[in-house]
Amino acid sequence: MTSATTGHLWRLGTRGSDLARTQSRQVADALTAAGAGELDLVVVRTEGDVSTAPLSSLGGTGVFAGALRAALLDGEVDVVVHSLKDLPTAPHPGLTIAAVPPREDPRDALCARDGHTLATLPPGARVGTGSPRRAALLLITRPDLTIVDIRGNVPTRLARTENDLDAVVLALSGLRRLGLEDRATDILGPPTFLPAPGQGALAVETRDDVDSELPGLAAALRAVHHAPSAAAVVAERTLLGRLEAGCAAPVGALATLDGDRLALDALVSRPDGALHLRRSGGRSLDPADTELAAGLGRDLADELLIAGAGDLMDTA
């Protein structure tokens, strides 16, 4: 099968989970609508998908990106889709993030048995999450909770609430993309709950030579790019990179754009939630000016480091 528009069938690399394939298909459809032609999904198995060990013990977020990036550099695929919160903050030689589509809701969601909210969970309730950030935020609000480290895809995690767990915490964006939003019993958002930097956003990554080698695809990528979403995640991810924090450090950040003003809220916590720091900042900018957005992230990270964020992260 080839595209009537380009005469070429583009190959889009994706992880194999239901969520990854669903969001990759949404990107493929958007690119097709923007004139790229047809895109065929190519499933790439990553270390994070194969191993059942805690993510922090595998080396952090890169465990989901490495195999996809290798397939891209080897020419096995033309473009890949990442969940931005799973993508390392450092740029990868030879590759570029060519598009950030409009961001889905970045908040977290509690999915509990018997319709419980975070406030109504019984004392000592067992709550599952594989995220040190979510664990710390839960304990800041409810230090009596028992946090259980879990792995697995969204349906697997949800099923635990019918067995050994009272609740799990998942990204609201993933539930929405899978049509499972009705499983959320409580939406956990600012100011108490700050999401992971980049949560709810997708990154469409290609090789650096996409403009010269794949002009039809490059034009479609520019068409699906959403500058306000990109500015927000650039601020959040720059803060994360400046802190030199990975998935083992409980760091939350959320940037929001209101007109031409970008506001950024951030939190760094000890894993047990007993000590944490919060800082906020903002500046006026054009959403297309990612340098100013990055500057906001750097400045807020420096404020946190001066206040002692490094000591909190060292305990993670």
Q: 129-188: per-residue pLDDT in tens?
A: 999 999 999 999 999 999 999 989 999 999 999 999 999 999 999 999 999 999 999 999
* Residue 240 phi, psi dihedral angles, 5° rounding: -60, -45
CA distance 14 to 177: 15
184-209 pLDDT, tens digit per residue, is 999 999 999 999 999 999 999 999 98
Banded pLDDT at 4 (limits 50, 70, 90):
very low
* pLDDT value for 51: 44
First to last CA, the chain: 50
| CATH superfamily entry for domain 108-188 | Periplasmic binding protein-like II (3.40.190.10)
Whether residue 15 contacts residue 44, with contact meaning beta carbons closer than 8 Å, is answered with yes
Q: Please, what is the Cα angle at 222 between 65 and 297, to 5 degrees?
A: 60
86-131 pLDDT, tens digit per residue, is 899 999 999 999 999 999 999 999 999 999 999 999 999 999 999 9
* pLDDT value for 313: 85
Q: Which long-range contacts (CB under 8 A, 24 or more apart) does 61-70 make?
A: 61/85, 61/86, 61/87, 61/88, 61/246, 61/247, 62/88, 64/15, 68/13, 68/14, 68/15, 68/44, 68/205, 69/95, 69/205
Which two structure tokens, joined as six digits, stand for 15? Answer: 């992880």
70's CB contacts (< 8 A; 6+ apart) are none
Tell whether omega for the bond before 191 is within 30 degrees of 0, i.e. cis: yes
Beta-bridge mates of residue 10:
39
Strands 126-128 and 167-171: parallel
* Domain span(s) for CATH 3.40.190.10 in the chain: 10-101+201-225, 108-188
Whether residue 107 contacts residue 189, with contact meaning beta carbons closer than 8 Å, is answered with yes
* Domain span(s) for CATH 3.30.160.40 in the chain: 232-309
Catalytic residue IDs: 85-86, 133-134, 151, 157, 247
Q: Please, what is the Cα angle at 309 between 167 and 316, to 5 degrees?
A: 50
Give yes or no for residue 62 having a pLDDT over 90. Answer: no
* pLDDT value for 249: 81
- For 10-101+201-225, give the CATH class: alpha beta
| CATH superfamily entry for domain 232-309 | Porphobilinogen deaminase, C-terminal domain (3.30.160.40)
230-281 pLDDT, tens digit per residue, is 999 999 999 999 998 766 789 999 999 999 999 999 999 999 999 999 999 9
Percent of the chain with pLDDT over 90: 84
Q: What average pLDDT score do residues 26-46 get?
A: 93
